[in-house]
């Protein structure tokens, strides 16, 4: 064990956002209201610690509706789902609760509005991500064009270059997305965009906090999951803004403290689906190995909250 000093710079804001907090509450309240088991289509948020904690309370996670037996409630994850999913749930007369983040739902409504006004939609996002699948699934197949990077923008084939609109995934890199949108606007000057930025406040704030501490540390750890888009973007942002030695960790047990012997200043943040308890776990481990001083670097506070769906707040009716 090394007792050498280690200064930890904690990024703030970090961890849970309002959409994630709401989604987890939805599962917990549904378990209280309906009893276990409650089924959840896809991981409610991209964090195994959270998923396993909810499983211990009686949640059962599945990938598709056909894995849900008749007669049990099902919850749709915070990432959003294609319209075909609630349609199938209604066909089967299932009791379902939609935990889609309201900021993702806002993107869905934007895409529908542009489509109803006759525009072709360009979605900036990562292929295969549940949020992208959900957004593309709001409209008829083939009507949303996905672009991931500048090469995709250059290769984009559209019906009418003067009748286009774009929306974006909510968890992208702010800087990368700005470059892609600039390239889209350069190619299509009459491009319609969102009234307000699609990248959510939490993604924007967490990336700004990382930019504030990355140049000041020797290494930066992002607590999150490899399938969490916003967590992976935090690693990229840290590397691009002054800390090449940045990496993702799921839990404290992934950290080999002997490898950090030469590190004097360590940055720590957490993706929007990572609970604060995982940060506390790392701080406890750090104190067991080093003489730790913790400094919190805050770029502001967050006060946004989202209401639970009405179906969970209404009293149960009896026949």
Q: Can you name the residues that pair with 297 across neighbouring β-strands? A: 11
Q: Can you name the residues that pair with 219 across neighbouring β-strands? A: 266
Q: Which residues are annotated as catalytic?
A: 131
The torsion angles phi and psi of 146, rounded to 5 degrees, stand at -95, 130
**DSSP code string of the chain:** ----EEEEEEEES-S--HHHHHHHHHHHHHHHHH-S-EEEES-SSS-HHHHHHHHHHTEEEESSGGGSPTTS-EEE-TT---THHHHHHHHTT--EEE---HHHHHHHHHHHHHHHTT-EEEEES-TT-HHHHHHHTTS-TTSEEEE-SHHHHHH---S-TTSEEEEE-TTS-HHHHHHHHHHHHHH-TT-B--SS-SS-HHHHHHHHHHHHHGGG-SEEEEES-TT-HHHHHHHHHHHHTT-SSEEEESSGGG--GGGGTT-SEEEEEE-TTS-HHHHHHHHHHHHHHSEEEEEEEES-------PPPHHHHSPPP--
The torsion angles phi and psi of 148, rounded to 5 degrees, stand at -105, -30
């Amino acid at each position: 064990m090394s007792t050498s000093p280690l200064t930890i710079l904690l990024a703030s804001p970090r961890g849970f956002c309002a959409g994630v907090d709401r989604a987890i509450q939805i599962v917990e309240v549904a378990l209280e209201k309906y009893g276990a088991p409650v089924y959840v289509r896809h991981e409610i948020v991209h964090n195994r610690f959270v998923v396993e904690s909810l499983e211990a309370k009686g949640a059962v996670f599945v990938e598709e509706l056909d894995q849900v037996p008749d007669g049990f409630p099902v919850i749709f994850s915070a990432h959003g789902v294609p319209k075909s999913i609630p349609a199938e749930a209604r066909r089967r007369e299932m009791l379902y609760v939609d935990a889609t983040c309201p900021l993702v739902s806002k993107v869905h409504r934007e895409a529908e509005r542009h489509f109803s006004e006759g525009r072709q939609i360009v979605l900036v996002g990562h292929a295969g991500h549940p949020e992208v699948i959900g957004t593309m699934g709001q409209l008829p197949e083939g009507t949303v064009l996905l672009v991931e990077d500048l090469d995709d923008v250059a290769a984009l084939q559209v019906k009418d270059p003067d009748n286009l609109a774009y929306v974006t995934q909510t968890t992208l890199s702010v800087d990368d997305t700005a470059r892609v949108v600039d390239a889209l606007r350069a190619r299509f000057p009459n491009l319609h965009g969102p009234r307000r930025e699609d990248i959510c406040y939490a993604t924007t704030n967490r990336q700004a906090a990382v930019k504030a501490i990355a140049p000041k540390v020797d290494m930066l750890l992002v607590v999150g999951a490899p399938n969490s888009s916003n967590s992976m973007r935090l690693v990229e942002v840290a590397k691009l803004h002054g800390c090449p030695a940045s990496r993702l960790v799921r839990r404290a047990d992934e950290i080999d403290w002997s490898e950090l012997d030469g590190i004097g200043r360590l940055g720590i943040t957490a993706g929007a689906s990572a609970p604060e308890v995982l940060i506390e776990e790392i701080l406890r481990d750090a104190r067991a190995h080093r003489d730790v001083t913790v400094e919190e670097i805050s770029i502001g506070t967050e006060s946004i909250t989202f209401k639970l769906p009405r179906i969970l707040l209404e009293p149960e009716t009896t026949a």
